[in-house]
Structure 1
Amino acid sequence: MKPTKILITGATGFIGSRLCELLSLEHRLPYRALVRDFSRAARIARLDPELVAGDMLDAGSLARAVEGCDAVVNLAHGDDQSAEKQTKLLVDACVRARVRRFVHVSSMAVHGPSPKPPVLTESTASIQRWGEGYSDAKSAAEAVVTAAGKRGALATVILRPTIVYGPYSFFVTPIVQDARAGKISMIDGGRGVCNAVYVDDVCESIMAALDRDDAVGEAFLINGDGRITWRDFITTFAGMVEGAKTIHDHSLDEIAAYWQAKRPRVRDSVTAAMRLAASPAFHAQLGTIPPVGKLIRGTKELVARRISSEQKMTIKSRLQSRSATAHADEAPAVRMPSEGRVVREAYRSWVSNDLAKARLGWVPAHSFELGAQRTGEWMRFARIV
């Protein structure tokens, strides 16, 4: 049974904004968008939806937002520390309002920051605490929804999208920015498997989850059908930018060595302290404190009388040389990938979407070629390329 009114949380985000567009322009279903920051709501405001002010940590505003809605799509994820509490407050509000269907859009990240091959299917994928902020927050939020479903308080469906791309995607725009600068990078030759799903297909899986009664109580991995590598993904979007580009391939050994070197050591702390002590800017700040300023000036005058001009030049030269070397060490020629990107792009297993196809009656409508084409059309319209 189709819902009569849907509350969407996270409505101004990447997936939420596209869901609002499809609800207004294609499905033509009534919905209400929960908005915390109206300065971020320009994309959906042009659709003339029902907007309601609220905060996921404000139980009163959630109660008002859910009033009169028989379905809720939860796309909100404020920060890792508050995700579990936000979800609990929303679930409680939905239970009190007797909401018919609760669709919680989670993430493949619940299976860990570096998932192993058993994540290939829902039946073998484990959920636990992984010691990584985002994955643990997503797992904790899911646990709240699952518990509500098991005790019969709500009819819940959980969706776990993989790598969601399309217009406005934060997986696409950094690639384009690097390509415009004339350089792109890959990890381990781009051989990792990119489990990419187009944003419209994710939205259609949400619509199916709202409607299918046999999906209640289940969790589904939502992935596209195009089996591509990260090299395919990166070069496709980088290729939409005109001009020559250089490709830097970060080996896994190179990345490991870089992050190992970035870990703070006692010697680094001592060097930093010495550099600070020798800094003219630091001396200038200390000099604004009258007793300290007087001591610094007196010390400098005493030293100046005791050493020759040649010794002064030698000391100054050594300090400048150390500073230049330190800055060179801190700034590699090519920007190193973040740890999150390394985890995503080193993954080698394809994630199955068979259960979603069977139980949701959903099939992704966009091959990677079609999804990339539509994303490229948006980038040209937006003058990004």
Structure 2
Amino acid sequence: MMRRIAVLGASGFIGNRTVEIFQRDGDVDVCPVVQRPSRAALPRRFDLPVQIANALDTNSLTAAFEGCDNVIMAIAGDPKTIVRSIEPVYRAAMRSNVRRLIYLSSASVHGQSPATGVDETTPLSKRQPLAYNSAKVVAEQQLGRLREIGRVEVVILRPGIVFGPRSQWTGGVADEILNGTAYLTEGGWGVCNSIYVDNLVHAIKLALVAPNVDGKAFLLGDAEAVTWRDLYLPICEALGYDLDGLPTPKMADAVDERPSLAQRVGAMNSYQSLRWIVPRPARAAVKAAIREMRWPLNTENPASYPVTLERALLHTSSYRPPYARAERELGYCPPITFDEGCRRSVEWLGFAGYPIDGRSRHA
């Protein structure tokens, strides 16, 4: 009998891709879980029994997890949701006799520009300049406390910059290049701790079955060491833009921003996931609303857009946290190269209607 795996957040960027790969490979019985019926369109492409559950409601989660051996927690949200969802999900997993919970955290628990030498043994601080980072730290710590009194095993994955089809770091970057708001702080020569989404799903699969990993956290990344310029270059070239033409503001120009990373990434990822069912006439309005949330300034004057603290820290990072523990204990070896991930991402941009090579493939 195949293992049954619940994917909580199955309509999001990472959750949706997890469902796609699990369904394609056919080695587990995948159970997508979404927050509301309107989010069920993507997983229902595979004629799967989609479950509806509120991530803050233990009862609905318990029903959704019934009969599942494992739960993958891949929900996005604002900092408050990130923290408040932990206990209901864990308690529902307990009630449903789930064996292991895989929690998708983030390498940003160590900051957008981590100190040299950081790894999974480095103590975490809840006092970080970005609320999203602090919320992920609190969530991890809360999971640790629940595991001490509960019987559901916990494995924490900390991916870096997850790019690929439907990602903010692919479609969102393309949007910013096209609308004139893209920039690379200090030239974008900083370390980009990238991980192609399929490499992350590969790590999730390994974490489901690896022995002796209960209670452990794992940093994850691509095999190659790359810069932010490397991530932006293929997107610029595909859209017919010169990478060297992007603004290169100074770190000193950075300002704090609102809303948070989680809100902006969540909004864009929701749009990218649902664009297939949003009527074409409405797409421009939806994207404009998301863009206004991300850049609440004068859209007629791109020069006035802020250099955000988050981006400035990312673009100027000088250290790449290692994933040696994942190699040793999970058997993790990224199956997709960075270049191949970029090629697939650009191919998706064309499929999604972006003007690749100066023309829209949907024109």
How far apart are 1:348 and its partner, in Å? 1.1
1:42 counterpart SS class = coil
Residue by residue, what CA displacement relative to the aligned partner does 1:51-102 show, whole Å, maximum 9, x if unpaired? 0111011221011111111111111133211322211011011112221111
In the aligned structure 1, how far is the partner of 2:2 from the partner of 2:225?
34
Structure 1 residues 135 and 183, CA gap change in structure 2 (3 angstroms): closer
Q: Does 1:361 align with 2:324?
A: no
Listed as ranges, the matches of 1:291-330 within 5 Å are none
Residue by residue, what CA displacement relative to the aligned partner does 1:336-358 show, whole Å, maximum 9, x if unpaired? 33222122212110110111011
Provide the residue aligned with 1:344 in structure 2.
314
Residue by residue, what CA displacement relative to the aligned partner does 1:130-177 show, whole Å, maximum 9, x if unpaired? 253111111111112222333452211110111100001101223212
Provide the residue aligned with 2:28 in structure 1.
29
One-letter code of the match for 2:91? D
Structure 1 residues 184 and 60, CA gap change in structure 2 (3 angstroms): closer
In the aligned structure 1, how far is the partner of 2:349 from the partner of 2:319?
30
How far apart are 1:178 and its partner, in Å? 3.3
Provide the residue aligned with 2:188 in structure 1.
190
Residue by residue, what CA displacement relative to the aligned partner does 1:179-226 show, whole Å, maximum 9, x if unpaired? 334674211111110010000010010110001112222110011111
Structure 2 segments unaligned to the other structure (5+ residues): 257-296, 357-363
Judge conservation of contact 1:164–1:196 (CA < 8 Å) in 2. yes
One-letter code of the match for 2:219? L
**Considering only CA atoms, is the larger Rg found in Structure 1 or Structure 2?**
1
Judge conservation of contact 1:19–1:203 (CA < 8 Å) in 2. yes
One-letter code of the match for 1:190? G
Provide the residue aligned with 1:50 in structure 2.
49
In the comparison of the two structures, how many residue pairs are matched? 314
In the aligned structure 2, how far is the partner of 1:368 from the partner of 1:14?
18
State which of 168, 171, 184 in structure 1 corresponds to 2:169. Answer: 171
Q: Does 1:5 align with 2:4?
A: yes
Structure 1 residues 182 and 128, CA gap change in structure 2 (3 angstroms): closer
Give me the CA root mean square deviation. 2.4
Identical pairs, percent? 31
2:215 counterpart SS class = coil
How far apart are 1:16 and its partner, in Å? 0.2
In the aligned structure 2, how far is the partner of 1:83 from the partner of 1:174?
22
1:177 counterpart SS class = helix
Listed as ranges, the matches of 1:252-263 within 5 Å are 252-253=251-252, 255-256=253-254, 259=255
1:364 counterpart SS class = coil
1:50 counterpart SS class = coil
In the aligned structure 1, how far is the partner of 2:90 from the partner of 2:181?
46
Could you tell me the TM-score, scaled by structure 1's length?
A: 0.76
Which stretch shifts more, 199-208 or 229-238? 229-238
In the aligned structure 2, how far is the partner of 1:145 from the partner of 1:26?
30
One-letter code of the match for 1:223? G
Structure 1 residues 377 and 23, CA gap change in structure 2 (3 angstroms): same
How far apart are 1:360 and its partner, in Å? 0.2
